Amino acid sequence: MPEIRVDETRCKGCELCVTACPLKCIAMSETFSVTGYYPAKLAKLECCTGCGLCAQICPDLAIEVWK
Amino acid sequence: MAEKILMKGNEALAEGAVRAGCRFFAGYPITPQNEVPEYMSWRMPEVGGSFIQAESEVAAINMLYGASATGIRTMTSSSSPGISLKQEGISYCAGADLPIFFANVVRGGPGLGNIAAGQGDYFQSTRGGGHGDYYTIVMAPNCVEEMGNFPRRCYELAEKYRLPAMILADAILGQMMEPVEFDFEPVDPKTLKAPDWALGIAAGRERRIVRSYDLREGKLELLNLERMERYRKIQEKETLHENRQTDDAKLVVAAYGTSSRIAAGAVKMARDKGMKVGLFRPITLWPFPAKALAAIAEHVKNFLVVEMSMGQFVEDVRLAVCGTARVDLYARPAGVPSADEVFTEIEKVYQGIR
Amino acid sequence: MKLINKKPASLVDKPMRYCPGCGHGIVHRLIAEIMDELDIRERTVGVAPVGCAVFADEYFNCDMIQGPHGRGPAIATGIKRSKPECIVFSYQGDGDLASIGMAETVHSAARSENITIIFINNAIYGMTGGQMAPTTLLGQTSTTCPAGRSVAVNGYPIKVCEMLAQLQGARYLERTAVSTAPGVIKTKKAIKKAFQNQIDCVGFSMVEVLSMCPTNWGMTPVQGARFVDEKMTPVYPLGVFRSPEK
C-alpha cells in the first residue's frame, strides 16, 4: 500500500497537507516534536493512494511519498 | 614611445578603462560626465563588451554589482548627485568584496549645485561614502593623461585587495583636451585569471555565494576585522604622491586634482620671486599619503592647503602633520582659483613666516 | 515501494527557516525541481532579495548573489549580459519588486532582458513584521494601516501583471497561487515555462505567485491559504497575461 512518511524534524505542523489530502488520511500528532510542533501523520492506514498532493503543498519538504 | 592622442578628459577616462580590460559599462546621463557613457556606447560593442544605459544611477551600480560578481572588469561613471545615488550599491560592493571601478566627475554642490568643477565630494569619496564601515581606493588625476592611465591601477588594486576603486575628477578634468600617451599595453581580458569567487558556470565545483550580510552572532565583526587588516595593508603599501621642491621649502602648498595644477603655477611664480615654496600633491586620496606628508612636516613648519571646497581635504593634511606645523586654508567652495590668487595667498602666509 | 518525490538536488538539504505555512518553501522547491528537470543547475545564478527570502541564497544549490532591496532585476541584468550562457533568475517579494524596486522591474521588462523573475505576492512586508505592501488589499490590516488599507490614505493595490502587460518587452507574464495543491502544480508549470523561455532566448518572463504569510496576516496557515483563494484572487485574478505565443 502507498504511504507517506513525515520527517518530524522538518514538519512545522501547518496542516496544509491535511487540507490537501482528498481522502482525509492525514491528521496531526497529539504529541509535539523536537522542534516544538505537532507534526502531521498518516492517521488512517490503507487510506493513502500515493497521489502526492500533500507533498505538493508541504512548504518544508517534510513528506516523503512511497508507492 | 606610444603615440600621443589629443583627447577630452572624459574620453581618456573611458578609453583608459577599455584598454585596462573593462568589458561592462552601465551608466546614466549627468553633466559633466556624459562623454563617458557616450564613448562607451560604441566602444564596448567594438571590443565585445556590454554597454547599458540604465534607468537610473541606482540601477546602473546594481548592474555593476551583478556583472562584477561574474569576475569581469566593470565600470560606471557619474557626477556628484548621481554618485550619491550610487552609494548604496557601492556599500554593497564593499560588503561583498567586489572590485568595481567607477569615476566621479565632480560638479558644484550640494544639491543640484551647478555643472562647473568642484571638489566638494572629498569627504564622501575618502570616508567610504555609503553606509557602514568601509573604504574605497580613490585616485585623483590632475591631467587628461592621468585620466587615461589611472583606471588600470584602479582595477589592479581593486582586484588585489577586493574593494571598490574610484577616480575622483572634476568638470575641468573631464571637459578639457590634452595629449594623452597611454603608459600600458591594452589588456586582453582573456589573459586575466578568473577569480575563485566569480559566479557563473559551476560545473565541477561547489556553488558560490556573493553577499554582503552575515547574521550569525559575531561573524560580521570578524569579516570587518579581516577587511580592516586589508585596509591597513593598503594604507601601508599603496599610497602615491608627488613632491615638488619641498626639500628646501619654508612653505609647502598642499593640493590635489585641478587645484594642484593651479597651485603648481602659483608655486612657480613664488620660486621666480625667490620664495622657498614647494608643492605636495596626493595622488591617492585614500589611502592618504600621510607618512610622506609627515616627513615633509619634519622640516617644513608651514602649509597652505588650496581646495575647491570649504575645508575637507585640509582635515587630512592636519591629521597627517598632527600639530607639528601650521596649516592655513584657501578654500573656494565650488569656485576655481586662479594662479594669481593662490600666489597672493602664498605671499600672505610666507610674509608671516619668521 | 519506491520514493516518488525525491528531494531536488538543486535545493540544499536542510530545514528552511520560514514560518509554518509560508509559501516561500513551496516555491523554492518548485524552482529547484525545475533546475533539476531542465538540467541547468550548474549554469544557473540566482538573485536573492531583501526580505524573508534573503535566505534563498542558503537554500538554492546553485551560484547565488544577494543584493540591495528591489535591485534584483538590475543585478540579474548585469549577470546575464556578462555571462549570457548562464540562466539567471531573480526571486523577489512584493515590497521588493513592486515598491522600492518598481523602476528596475519595469525597465528590465521594457528592455526585455532575457531573465526570469519569480515574484512572490503575499500582500505584506514579511521580514520587517507585517507592514503595508504595495499589494496589500483594500481593507486589509497591517502594522502601518492598523485600521485597514484605505483609498484615501494609501491608494490602491498595484496589479503588477496587468501593469507590465502593457509593455512590449514583457514576453511572458502569468499569475498563479500556491494556496492549494493543484495551484502548486500549475505554478510549477508556469515557472518552468519562464525558465524555458530564457533557455530559448525569448526575453523577459515573470511569474507572480500569490502566496501565504499566515504569521503577519494573524491567521493559521489553513486560514491563510483560504485568504489567498477567497480574498486575493478576486483582486489578483489568476491566468496568463502575456505569452510569447500570443
Which residues are within 8 A (CB) of A16 and not within 5 positions of it... i.e. 6 or more apart? A57, A58, A59, C21, C221, C222, C225
Which pLDDT does position A7 carry in this prediction? 97
- Nearest CB to A60; choose among C5, C15, C214: C15
Between A65 and C245, whose confidence is greater? A65
- Domain identity same for B196 and B65: yes
Which pLDDT does position B3 carry in this prediction? 87
**CA dist., res. C166 & res. B200, Å (int):** 33
Of B123, B341, B142, the closest CA to residue B259 belongs to B142
Number of domain units in chain B = 2
Contact between C79 and B58 using a beta-carbon 8 Å cutoff: no
Which residues are within 8 A (CB) of B219 and not within 5 positions of it... i.e. 6 or more apart? none
pLDDT at B335 over 90: yes
Q: Is B291 domain-assigned?
A: yes
The residue in chain C having the minimum alpha-carbon distance to the alpha carbon of residue A39 is C20
The reply to whether C24 touches chain A by the CB within 8 Å rule is yes
- Please list every residue in chain C whose beta carbon sits closer than 8 Å to the beta carbon of residue B102: none
Residue B327, domain CATH: 3.40.50.920
Contact between B202 and C42 using a beta-carbon 8 Å cutoff: yes
Contact between B203 and C42 using a beta-carbon 8 Å cutoff: yes
- Nearest CB to A16; choose among C16, C182, C221: C221
Distance from CA of A8 to the nearest CA of C (A): 11
Helices (H), C141-180: 151-154, 160-164
The reply to whether C11 touches chain A by the CB within 8 Å rule is yes
Q: Which of B216, B236, B256 is the last residue of a domain?
A: B236
Distance from CA of A56 to the nearest CA of C (A): 6
The reply to whether C126 touches chain A by the CB within 8 Å rule is no
- Nearest CB to B62; choose among C43, C75, C85: C75
Contact between A10 and C15 using a beta-carbon 8 Å cutoff: yes
Q: Is B251 domain-assigned?
A: yes
Taken as a whole, chain A contains a residue count of 67
Overall average pLDDT of the C55-71 stretch: 97
Tell me which chains share at least 3 CB pairs under 8 Å with chain C: A, B
Contact between A56 and C1 using a beta-carbon 8 Å cutoff: no
pLDDT at C77 over 70: yes
- Dump strand ranges (E) for B60-164: 74-78, 101-106, 137-139
- Domain identity same for B303 and B231: no
pTM over 0.90: yes
pLDDT in tens, B85-140: 999 999 999 999 999 999 999 999 999 999 999 999 999 999 999 999 999 999 99
- Dump strand ranges (E) for chain B: 5-8, 24-27, 50-53, 74-78, 101-106, 137-139, 165-170, 177-180, 209-210, 241-244, 251-254, 277-282, 284-286, 302-307, 326-331
Which pLDDT does position B354 carry in this prediction? 73
- Domain identity same for B232 and B258: no
Q: Is B141 domain-assigned?
A: yes
- Domain identity same for B91 and B106: yes
- Nearest CB to B69; choose among C43, C74, C79: C79
pLDDT in tens, B213-261: 999 999 999 999 999 999 999 999 999 999 999 999 999 999 999 999 9
The residue in chain C having the minimum alpha-carbon distance to the alpha carbon of residue B89 is C68
The residue in chain C having the minimum alpha-carbon distance to the alpha carbon of residue A53 is C181
Side-chain-facing half-sphere of C28: CA atoms under 13 Å: 31
Contact between C79 and B23 using a beta-carbon 8 Å cutoff: no
Interface test with A, best of C5, C52, C211 (most A CBs within 10 A): C5
Overall average pLDDT of the C206-228 stretch: 98
Q: Is B214 domain-assigned?
A: no
Q: Is B168 domain-assigned?
A: yes
Overall average pLDDT of the B19-38 stretch: 98
Find the chain A residues whose C-beta atoms sit closer than 8 A to any C-beta of C.
2-3, 9-10, 12-16, 18-20, 37, 50, 52-61, 63-67
Contact between C41 and B202 using a beta-carbon 8 Å cutoff: yes
- Domain identity same for B258 and B193: no
Burial of C14 (0-12, 13-18, 19+ CB in 10 A): exposed
Contact between A15 and C220 using a beta-carbon 8 Å cutoff: yes
- Domain identity same for B142 and B278: no
Contact between B211 and C48 using a beta-carbon 8 Å cutoff: yes
A and B touching (3 or more beta-carbon pairs closer than 8 Å): no
Contact between C178 and A50 using a beta-carbon 8 Å cutoff: no
Contact between C222 and A14 using a beta-carbon 8 Å cutoff: yes
Side chain identity, residue B350: Y
- Domain identity same for B91 and B180: yes
Tell me which chains share at least 3 CB pairs under 8 Å with chain A: C
Overall average pLDDT of the C220-228 stretch: 98
Residue A23 · residue A45 · CB < 8 Å? no
Name the β-bridge partners of B337.
Answer: none
Q: Is B217 domain-assigned?
A: no
Distance from CA of C34 to the nearest CA of B (A): 17
* Domain limits for position B195: 5-200+226-236
Contact between C3 and A64 using a beta-carbon 8 Å cutoff: yes
Interface predicted TM-score of the whole assembly (ipTM), two decimals: 0.97
- Nearest CB to B55; choose among C48, C76, C107: C107
Contact between C1 and A2 using a beta-carbon 8 Å cutoff: yes
The reply to whether C12 touches chain A by the CB within 8 Å rule is no
Overall average pLDDT of the A38-53 stretch: 94
The reply to whether C9 touches chain B by the CB within 8 Å rule is no
Contact between C26 and A55 using a beta-carbon 8 Å cutoff: no
- Domain identity same for B68 and B188: yes
Contact between B63 and C77 using a beta-carbon 8 Å cutoff: yes
- Domain identity same for B193 and B251: no
CB pairs under 8 A between B and C: 130
pLDDT band at B1 (very low <50, low <70, confident <90, very high): low
Contact between A65 and C221 using a beta-carbon 8 Å cutoff: no
- Domain identity same for B339 and B281: yes
pLDDT in tens, B6-25: 999 999 999 999 999 999 99
Which residues are within 8 A (CB) of B315 and not within 5 positions of it... i.e. 6 or more apart? none
Overall average pLDDT of the B159-175 stretch: 98
Residue B49 · residue B25 · CB < 8 Å? yes
- Domain identity same for B177 and B271: no
- Domain identity same for B54 and B179: yes
Contact between C2 and A37 using a beta-carbon 8 Å cutoff: no
Which region, left, alpha or beta, applies to residue B318 given φ > 0 means left and ψ of -120 to 50 means alpha? alpha
Cis peptide before B289 (omega within 30 of 0): no
The residue in chain A having the minimum alpha-carbon distance to the alpha carbon of residue C188 is A56
CATH superfamily of C24-129+159-242: Thiamin diphosphate (ThDP)-binding fold, Pyr/PP domains (3.40.50.970)
Q: Is B219 domain-assigned?
A: no
Overall average pLDDT of the B143-149 stretch: 98
